[in-house]
Each structure stands twice: as C-alpha cells, then as structure tokens.
Amino acid sequence: MTETLHRSEDNAGTAPRASANVRHLSRMELPGGGQVVVQGKYAFVGHQHKPDGTTILDVSDPRKPTIVSKLMTSHPSSHSHKVRVVGDIMLVNSEYEPGHGAGTRHDYPVGGFHIYDIKDKSNPKLITFVKTHGKGVHRFDVDETYAYMSTEMDGFIGNILVIYDIRNPSKPIEVGRWWMENQNVAAGDTPHPKRTEHRLHHAMRCGSEMYAGCWMSGVSIIDVSDINKPRTLSRYEYDPAFPEPTHTFLKVPFPIGSKSIAVSTEEERGHRARRRQAACAAAHLGRHRSDEAEAPVQPSRAAFGLAL
C-alpha cells in the first residue's frame, strides 16, 4: 500500500495524530462494537450494549459497507459483545451486563452462548443455545472443532475455561475444563482472597497450547494436547502486584529471531490513579518453561508484556 497519513484531532484539541501506511476508506455509524471479525466479504460486529446484538455487514466494497442483517439480544439484561465465525457457523456470547437491565446476575436466565447458521447472511438462523451458568460467557476462542469459553460455572468462583466440541453445532458437547487454584469451591477449595477478581478473562489457542489472561491473577499457559484434560504448563503472577487486570495473553505465532514470544495486555479500569500507574506499566520478559514453575521476569516500561 502506498504510504499515506491519516490525521485526526483528539477531543482535547492537541496536535493531530498521524499513522503511516493507513488509508481511511469509509465510515459507518453503528452502536459501539465489542468485537469485529471478517470472513470473506462479510464483517461481523458484536455490540457492547443491549438491545443491539450482532450486525453482519457486506464489506465487498470497503468504501460502501452495507448492513445485511442484525440480531438483537435475547434478554433485557444481556449483551452479546463477542462474535466468532467458522465456515457457515456463527457463535455469539450471552452475558449479564450490570446496570443495563432488570434483575441481578443471580436470577439471570440466559448466561451462555448462541450458535447460528449463517449460510444466508441476510437471515441468520438460531441452531441452539447452550446455557452455562451465572452471568454466562464473557469471551471465547473457536476453531473448526472446539469452542473455548470463558464462563461462570456452578461450583466455581469466577470464570473458568470450558471447552465444547462443536462439530455437531446443534448438540455441542462439553469435553474439558480448566481452572486455577482456589476456584473450585464445590470440590473443597478455599475461596481466593480476590474472589471473582481471581478468574480467567479468556484463553486463546496456539497449536497445542492456550494462552490465558487471568485478570487480577496474571497469566497462564495451558496444555490442551489432551483436550479432555487441560493442564497448567506455567503461571505467572505479577510481583509486585500490578494495579490493572490482565486482559489478553497471546503467543506470537512465529519466532522473532530465535525466540518464541508471547504478549500480554492490561486493561485500565477508569480511576485516575490507576491510569497514572498504568502509564508506567511493566513489560514482562521471562522464559516460558513447560512445567508448573513460574517464569523469571525482568521488568521494563511498556503498555504490554512480553514473555519468551
């Protein structure tokens, strides 16, 4: 692409920002998007707030995107801000959104995920709804065989990883679970002092491993070579404790030099003091080892983390 500059003024009226190799083609006003994925000539947008659920756009002409169809949320307290597509199958989450509906998370009836047939993009058809538990599914990863859901489940405190076989999309089958220490209270675990802040945010698969951001409890790498028995390869919790939660932890799918690199991102939660601290967030550089031991880490300044 020919190098161009796209400039815009920020809200404070400071100097314009410039981006090389980016050319603005079009703009469409839509309700706030939580996740956008593109497959072929279609884009799929999961919306952050009810009642908007998922919008499917035709982007074959990127200068003139058009809305093909739109789904609304299935409950007054739901949002469906995440969407993933595999072939002619679309998965969207169903999660309780605090402050945006009637009732509480304790009486929320539709926590889980929906699977749609999207052969006809203008008319998505619900195949099935899978109910999980509590507030439902937050984020997830998916491939042709499995869906990797971050969700609350009965007997656990905080979200855990639940893996479903989706080869028959009308009858997804749970095949595996992974959780951290102190989450399985039904089996006798003592609840973690962080309570639900000690949880899986989401895990993303790379080969036979999954890379998990664990909110206020650092990051984990999970071995899923045996899909029925996911096991912890390594865990790292920031020391000293980091003031913001770990949102995403993901392996770069190609070596950089001779190193295998993973990147973590942290999410700000709105307080001015935390924003100041997050501006000095540490980049974490350590060696990934395929065992239960934590990796040594050397801090440096950045807005994300790195691990070898």
Domain boundaries, the chain: 32-131
Q: What is the dihedral of CA 31, 36, 38, 39, to 10 degrees?
A: -90
Interatomic CA distance for residues 101 and 80, integer angstroms? 13
User: What values do phi and psi take at 187, rounded to 5?
Assistant: -95, 10
* Helix or strand run (H / E) with residue 273: helix 272-278
pLDDT, block means (10 residues), the chain with 308 residues: 36 56 90 93 96 97 96 94 97 90 80 98 98 97 98 98 98 98 98 96 96 96 98 90 87 86 79 39 34 30 37
Cβ distance 79 to 110 under 8 Å? Answer: no
Interatomic CA distance for residues 278 and 35, integer angstroms? 23
- Give the 3-state secondary structure of residue 207: coil
What's the pLDDT score for residue 285? 32
pTM equals 0.81
What's the pLDDT score for residue 224? 98
Smallest CA-to-CA distance from 237 within 260, 221, 214 is with: 214
User: What values do phi and psi take at 95, rounded to 5?
Assistant: -135, 145
Residue 234, token pair as written in the block: 């390594």
Interatomic CA distance for residues 288 and 290, integer angstroms? 7
Interatomic CA distance for residues 229 and 175, integer angstroms? 9
What's the pLDDT score for residue 270? 58
Smallest CA-to-CA distance from 87 within 131, 34, 44 is with: 44
Distances (CA, A) of 130 to 126, 127, 190: 11, 10, 29
What's the pLDDT score for residue 262? 85
- Name residue, tokens 């074959």: 60
User: What values do phi and psi take at 275, rounded to 5?
Assistant: -65, -40
